[in-house]
Amino acid sequence: MFKGSMVALITPMRADGSVDEKAFCELVDWQIKEGTEGLIPVGTTGESPTLSHAEHKRVVEMCVEVAARRVPVIAGAGSNSTDEAIDFARHAKQVGADATLVVAPYYNKPTQEGLFLHFTAIADAAELPLFLYNVPARTVVDISVETVARLAKHRNIVGIKDATANLTRPLHTKATAGADFIQLSGEDHTALAFNASGGTGCISVSANVAPRLCAEMHKAWREGRFAEAMAIQDRLVPLHDAMFCETSPGPVKYAASLLGRGTDHCRLPLAPIAAASKEKVRAAMVSAGILN
């Protein structure tokens, strides 16, 4: 159920900064029609830190409604407050999401025991499949392999989004958490290498603007057409580079705006990307064949 090309959805906004619900719903439908196999609203790429709680919940509701069970929805439900994360997770279950994605608490710097207790409390409260999200570059804390293995024993904790770009991690996680524990890459560049080490897919930023290419790459990999998958990977590398030429989601929202998928507006403290970055994004999209 949770495999292949999955997208960390942007949250399109109007020029005044309000959520563009029409653009978001159109983006979700387009993603599914282009072959995306899973939707992740209100993660980091969806600007969850600057959405109000009401906006956060509304975006999840829209995503579930438009998806209409065609592909799974893994709703972002992370917070550095355990009580807030529980509230988001319970809401996700209530509105029909298929799972939650819960990031390691940021800023607080919990110990490994604190991480274990945090994720356990959320998993106990929501009774919905839960994916851990490990992205130490943003949260400062790293969910250790040993802690992941402890958490994998919980009936509701089914997998992890690993954005460490450390390709020894999926090997060790598979050995300690078991082959049934679902591992999804959270880093576009290493998606295929991650799959080769035990992963089943990628939660992608680039898929916001190149959904068909990302989906075709994962499908080719699953079907054993490795040379074809790697050729698509090579084609996408400049795009992946461009999507992180500045802090995400600035570049990907600009890229989406070039495709008519909302404006390039990000809420402060993210600034509009620089002119040189815009040129880099545009050139990468042309090179990948997704923009004329």
Residues noted as catalytic: 133, 161
Judged by phi (left if over 0) then psi (alpha if -120 to 50, else beta), residue 279 lies in alpha
> Would you say 14 and 248 are in contact if contact means Cβ atoms under 8 Å apart?
no
> Would you say 281 and 251 are in contact if contact means Cβ atoms under 8 Å apart?
yes
Burial of 193 (0-12, 13-18, 19+ CB in 10 A): middle
Distances (CA, A) of 116 to 44, 112, 120, 154, 235: 21, 6, 6, 11, 39
Radius of gyration of the chain (CA): 18
Contacts 24+ apart (CB under 8 A), 227-230: 229/192, 230/192
The rounded distance, in Å, linking the Cα atoms of 16 and 239 is 28
Burial of 224 (0-12, 13-18, 19+ CB in 10 A): exposed
The rounded distance, in Å, linking the Cα atoms of 237 and 209 is 14
Q: Which residue has the tokens 């990031």?
A: 103
The rounded distance, in Å, linking the Cα atoms of 205 and 46 is 10
Q: Is 159 helix (H, G, I), strand (E, B) or coil?
A: strand
